[in-house]
Amino acid sequence: MLLTTFQHLANRSTFLVDRVKKHGILLEAVQVLVDLNLVITKAYISSDGNWFMDVFNVTDQDGSKLQNREVIEHIQKCLESEDYLALPAIGLKDGAAPSEDQSTSIELTGTDRPGLLSEVCAVLASLSCNIVKAEVWTHERRAAAVIQITDEATGLAIRDAGRLSKVQELLRNVMQGDGTARRGGGSTCTGGVSVGAARAERRLHKLMLDDGAGGSAGEEAVDGEDRCGKARPKVAVMDCTERQYTVVILQCRDRPKLLFDTLCALTDLQYVVFHGTVDAERGSKEAYQEYYIRHVDGYPVRSDAERTRLVRCLEAAVERRASDGLELEVRTEDRVGLLSEITRVFRENSLSIIRAAIATRDGRAEDTFYVSDAYGNPVDGRTVDAVGEQLGHAVLRVKRGGGGRGPPVAEGGAVSVLGSLLKGSFQGLRLIRSYS
């Protein structure tokens, strides 16, 4: 049994979801909303026995409540689906990338290095494979990508086993590079039928966790900043012995899809969220998330090692998408080999790609890249001008500058940071006493 209720409140829309509890159900509900690029400003999560209740306050990208009845009905239909994540990606926009039976999906993980994406694109172009959609993430010197390709001649999925084997072999060689992959982690290349464009980000989280890019020691934080001076998310993991929960509190600079990213980490680590509150109102640049969790085996966090891994995986989930590089957009007519040309120009101008979102819509390439120089520093204006000259200034747009050093979310040492995080925790404690 499932009940979905929708209502307008002030300048936001609210969805109330009641259904039987199962592992991953919260992530499913959030996936429905982020697939449509909606902004979740507040959320309340509670479980009572085997029953699960979510309340989501959402707006569109402009901060307005939802007015399109088709969108509202689409959301309700998806939320009432028994297994939304098992369905093909659903969107309301026309001209999207080919569906799962029309493209082939390739997943890559390996050691990051300058020019890596350029080499991958060159290999695919040489094999007459057209990249129609791709998501590329890097974090802690590791890289992961989910790439949708079609056959250049037919525009459909590549099904020939021999040809797919050749693609895998060559891409595996590229990802292995000079063979200096870190100890305990190599490079992999797998191919299969696409499961839908909107699932790429979900797969990237799982790929990077399995690869070890989340949960490793990472860069040491000093006064809330990493070695590059970038503010890190604040994560506290505490015991709630009265109710046998582990309390997770996260505070960081707000950004799109933050809730989705943190829930991916918790779900992949096999934790169940029983109660929680999320506050990311647009009046503040900070987001606050508080969860009361147990492992799927019914136990809270039981060791310091498990606690440390949970903190590091949540930090990694937040940081993977929080790109501080220069944001470049490429908008032009799509053609075979275009992405290979773009990434070659970036490589020749010593640009390193931090993150990339590649899409093809109605015959046009809509690509976004977050870049730095080869050493991770901000890109200077002369390099941008040179890239613009080679690609065409009408094609390349500088959307947002990056590399700036933002203020840390909280100041001081560990005690003051924890005190800041605990300020909002009493609301969650009241929520537990109400529903447990």
Task: State how far the Cα of 167 lies from the Cα of 120, in Å rounded to an integer.
Answer: 10
Over residues 276-286, the pLDDT tens digits come to 999 987 666 89
pLDDT at 415: 37
Task: State how far the Cα of 8 lies from the Cα of 33, in Å rounded to an integer.
Answer: 16
pLDDT at 340: 92
Span 104-214+324-400: which CATH code?
3.30.70.260
Task: State how far the Cα of 272 lies from the Cα of 298, in Å rounded to an integer.
Answer: 9
Under the banding of pLDDT at 50, 70 and 90, the label for residue 129 is very high
Under the banding of pLDDT at 50, 70 and 90, the label for residue 122 is very high
102-111, 282-291, 408-417: least confidently modelled range: 408-417
Q: Which fold has domain 1-87?
A: Alpha-Beta Plaits (3.30.70)
Task: State how far the Cα of 381 lies from the Cα of 387, in Å rounded to an integer.
Answer: 10
Task: State how far the Cα of 139 lies from the Cα of 176, in Å rounded to an integer.
Answer: 17
Task: State how far the Cα of 262 lies from the Cα of 55, in Å rounded to an integer.
Answer: 17
**Residue 153: partners with Cβ closer than 8 Å, 6 or more residues away:** 128
Q: What is the mean pLDDT of the chain?
A: 80
Mapped onto helix, strand or coil, the DSSP state of residue 194 is coil
Task: State how far the Cα of 124 lies from the Cα of 185, in Å rounded to an integer.
Answer: 24
Token pair for 187: 């490079």
Could you give the residue range(s) of every CATH 3.30.70.260 domain in the chain?
1-87, 104-214+324-400
Mapped onto helix, strand or coil, the DSSP state of residue 163 is helix
